Each structure stands twice: as C-alpha cells, then as structure tokens.
Amino acid sequence: EAGVAQSPRYKIIEKRQSVAFWCNPISGHATLYWYQQILGQGPKLLIQFQNNGVVDDSQLPKDRFSAERLKGVDSTLKIQPAKLEDSAVYLCASSVQGFGYTFGSGTRLTVV
C-alpha cells in the first residue's frame, strides 16, 4: 500500500517569500491533516479536512496560511508571506474516521 506522499522534502526560503507544500493521502482516506512541528515540540494540528470540507482550522494562522483540498484527494498548504518562526517540519497525515493514522515524510521548511 502506498504511503502518504509529500513534497518537497526540504525547502529554504527568505522571509516574506511564499511557499507551497503538497500532500497526496492514502487512497480512500477521507480525513487529511496538516501539522506543524517546531523543533523540540510535538506536532500541532493546523487544519483537518473531511473529504474536501474543513473540519477544524482554529489553529491555522489565516492571515498568512491557507490550505485547500480540491476534489477531496490531494491537498496543498501555502504560506504567504513566510516569517522566521514558520521554520518547522510540516507533516501531512490521513486516516479513515480517526483510525489508521498514516503520516507522510514531512517537509522541512527553513525561513532565513
């Protein structure tokens, strides 16, 4: 079974630039999550999709972060403009009704 695919693996950008991350969940997983993990901390949920609808985005900094899941499959997470404190690993995960969580390999973002 293919895992959760994420790209790119690494990204370095300057502050105030924009960046986008892509995630392809496991086929058939209706629920997709984006997490932000700052060094030394556990992952923090940014946004959760159920199919193509947003379940919760209460911790998403909406002034600079946006996410979409068109057609209920792939998802993109965008940051515009980036700040230094956005440096983190961005993880995508998918599940079937809260079970069978599978995480992607993550995108390590460095903002300089």
Partner 1 sequence: KNEVEQSPQNLTAQEGEFITINCSYSVGISALHWLQQHPGGGIVSLFMLSSGKKKHGRLIATINIQEKHSSLHITASHPRDSAVYICAVFTSGGGADGLTFGKGTHLIIQP
State the residues that interact with partner 1 by CB under 8 A: 9, 31, 33, 37, 40-43, 45, 48, 55-56, 58-59, 89, 91, 93, 95, 98-99, 101-108
CB of 63 to partner 1, least distance (A): 20
By C-beta, is 16 or 75 nearer to partner 1? 75
CB of 2 to partner 1, least distance (A): 15
Torsion of CA 8, 12, 18, 23, to 10 degrees: 20
CA 84 to centroid of chain Cα atoms: 18
Q: Which amino acid is present at 83?
A: K
Sign of torsion over alpha carbons 85, 88, 92, 97: negative
Q: Residues for the chain: how many in total?
A: 112
- For 104, the token pair is 């992607």
By C-beta, is 82 or 109 nearer to partner 1? 109
By C-beta, is 16 or 54 nearer to partner 1? 54
